[in-house]
Amino acid sequence: MRRIVSLKDAKGKTIGFRPMIQQGRGANRRTHSEVFRITPKVNAAMAMAMAQRWRDEKEIELGINSGQISSKSASRFVPGISLVVSGKAPFRACWKWSSAGYPTVTRYIGKKMGFESSYRELVKRICELIGREPPASIATPIPNPVQYASLLSMGVGELPDRRSAPREWTAS
């Protein structure tokens, strides 16, 4: 993940910028950052330009392609697909896709149309909108544990087995 955070003083005035690049997650996470302050010799535009230049150079140094999407987003058919599951009963769930220049596509998940079927329908609709042929096989993303529990309590069919997913860590 990459971002540039504005640094503010107690009065809310911007005093600098902190570009940050985060690689990985959990115990394997590495965070790289630097601070670029606004001074009498360095105005806000210069500090922001310096922060952007540092971020871009650091990405090159780390071997990250500019604009590279996260590993989670990269596992989706196209960027912008989200699984939305309500947190309280009565639970509702859907797949959503939003992308600039296209209408938002929503496919609801329930007992009649299961988890994988609704994802396939979403991908078919996205393909119609972007003018591509639907892929022959589609890998359905696995929901996080909280979403999975809600989907189970809804009685949704076609849920993938969470235990078959590869794990990056084990409890000791």
pTM attached to this predicted model: 0.55
* 140 pLDDT tier (thresholds 50, 70, 90): confident
pLDDT bucket at 172, cuts 50 / 70 / 90: very low
Number of domains in the chain: 2
Answer whether residue 161 is part of any domain: no
Whether residues 127 and 88 share a domain: the answer is yes
> Looking at residue 106, what DSSP letter applies?
E
- Does any domain span residue 165? no
Residue 139 in tokens? 């890998």
Boundaries of domain holding 86? 80-154
> What's the rounded mean pLDDT across residues 21-27?
82
- Contact between residue 153 and residue 132 where contact means Cβ atoms under 8 Å apart: no
Cα(152)–Cα(133) distance, integer angstroms: 32
- Does residue 126 belong to any structural domain of this protein? yes
Q: What is the mean pLDDT of residues 15-33?
A: 88
Are residue 58 and residue 27 in the same domain, yes or no? Answer: yes
Query: Is there a contact between 51 and 42 (Cβ–Cβ < 8 Å)?
Result: no
Residue 20 pLDDT level (bands cut at 50, 70, 90):
very high
- Rounded to an integer, what distance in angstroms lies between the CA atom of residue 60 and that of residue 166? 29
